[in-house]
Amino acid sequence: MDFFHIFIELMIGYIALLLLTKILGKSQMSQITAFDFISALVLGELVGNALFDDEIGIAKILFAVSIWGVLVYVTEITTQKFRKTRPILEGGPSIVISKGLIDFDALKKNHLDINQLQHLLRLQGVFSIQECEFAILETDGQVSVLKKAANDYVTKNELNIANQTRSLPVSIILDGEIIPDNLAMIGWNQQQLMTELNNKGIDHVRDVLFAEWVENEPLYIQPYQ
């Protein structure tokens, strides 16, 4: 293939994808669903692979992009017109924290572990699971958070409260396993941890879904339900 032919196919593919994007509508990356992401990848592959295949011409590139565009368009129209198709084609939100407790079954269903949940919460400015009343995993993979009333935003100036030093919450048990590095970070040993668990009526670490340490506060423990 000569460079001119590659240039022409690339320009045609570019224009076709641009027009298709305009027709199908705009989606911000922060709002894109798994289906939208896969659609974008397939469109890119259709054009990219066609550029370096001697047997595929401009007509075939346009045909492939058009067919895929029609399929995506029909899917979008279907989900807009028929509400019951949305959970199948787009998925739906999942409550991963309900009334302050982690829903472990919802995490497993969405292939999400506690570390990933903590990461998503931190992106929303929530550094402790104890602050959450509800957390919802959206279809775009982000988490929406409703904080507990006691942790809602109120400025200290409004309450005339003096500023105090804050400490970072530290997870010391995840999925029934102790995190040794984090335990050492707070200056605890396993015996101290077991004493805390025993005081809560828990005999084995494997019975604990999540445990979090915050300085000058009682150890937060959530056992498996």
- Clarify whether residues 22 and 79 are in a common domain: yes
Q: In the chain, what's the furthest Cα-to-Cα distance? A: 76
Q: How far apart are alpha carbons 196 and 213 in whole angstroms?
A: 11
What global pTM score does this model have?
A: 0.59
Beta-carbon-side half-sphere exposure of residue 123 (alpha carbons within 13 Å): 13
Q: How far apart are alpha carbons 166 and 107 in whole angstroms?
A: 29
Q: How far apart are alpha carbons 225 and 215 in whole angstroms?
A: 26
Token couple for 55: 């047997």
Query: Given this model, what pLDDT does residue 94 score?
Result: 86
Beta bridge partner(s), residue 212 = 171, 220
- Clarify whether residues 82 and 144 are in a common domain: no
Residue 171 lies in a domain: yes
Query: Given this model, what pLDDT does residue 162 score?
Result: 66
CATH code assigned at 185: 3.30.240.20
Query: Given this model, what pLDDT does residue 5 score?
Result: 67
- Clarify whether residues 15 and 72 are in a common domain: yes
Query: Given this model, what pLDDT does residue 197 score?
Result: 94
- Clarify whether residues 114 and 175 are in a common domain: no
The segments of the chain whose pLDDT lies below 70 read 1-3, 5-6, 9-10, 13-14, 16-18, 20-40, 43-44, 46-58, 61, 79, 83, 86-91, 152-166
CB 198 within 8 A of CB 211: no
- Domain span including residue 109: 94-151
Q: State the alpha helices, DSSP H only, in the chain.
A: 3-24, 34-51, 58-81, 86-89, 104-109, 114-123, 156-159, 180-185, 190-199
Residue 47 lies in a domain: yes
- Residues 175/181/182/187 CA torsion (nearest 10 deg): 130
Let me know how long the chain is.
225
User: Nearest Cα to 131, choosing from 139, 143, 141?
Assistant: 143
Domain count, the chain: 3
Residue 52 lies in a domain: yes
Question: Helix 58-81 to helix 3-24 angle, to the nearest 10 degrees?
Answer: 10
Given 40, 71, 88, the domain boundary residue is 88
